[in-house]
Amino acid sequence: MVHKAQISATATSAASPAELWRLLGEVGTWPTWSAFDSGTLLETAPGGGDGLGALRRLQTGRQVSVERVVAYEAPRHLAYTLVEGLPLKDYRADVTLEPMADGGTRITWESRFSGRVPGTTWFYRLVLRVFIKRLVRALATAPVKAASSIAA
């Protein structure tokens, strides 16, 4: 029996979905707000840029992940699947930016996957839960940090 892991992390941001999308929707900006050292496009989307079908490469230290964008609905929803990197199968992440009444945004980052090696799913669930929670918090606070550094 193959166990599938699910991870969900949420945060709220004072920034609008459009402000957050400018960071989330372009992989080249990820190193400015996240734990990734680099983010590049390996293949642009058929319509150009980072959109639906784009192939992205993200690197943290020696860990490299290649991801395919499978949903790109600006400024509300980004989804990607893992093409190579971690020893996982059927990895898919969905990031949703939901506008709130006060002008801010509720960010939800959900991932589903199973370990490629039997018995390892639990380990990757623990590691990725921490990593994804950090990503959500970093995205939520990135526009505020950027605005305060410009004002300083």
Q: Are strands 105-115 and 5-13 parallel, antiparallel or unpaired?
A: antiparallel
- CATH superfamily, with its number, for domain 5-25+68-151: START domain (3.30.530.20)
To the question of pTM greater than 0.85 for the whole model, the response is yes
- For 72-87, the pLDDT digits (tens) are 999 999 999 999 999 9
Q: How is the chain split into domains, by residue range?
A: 5-25+68-151
Residue 151 has pLDDT above 70, yes or no: no
pLDDT for 48 equals 92
Structure tokens at 143: 């526009």
The 3-state DSSP class for residue 152 equals coil
What is the structure's pLDDT at 143?
83
Burial-class residue 130 by CB neighbours within 10 Å (0-12, 13-18, 19+): exposed
Instruction: Please say whether the beta carbons of 79 and 69 come within 8 A.
Output: yes
- At 15, the pLDDT band (50, 70, 90 cuts) reads very high
**Contact between residue 145 and residue 151 where contact means Cβ atoms under 8 Å apart:** no
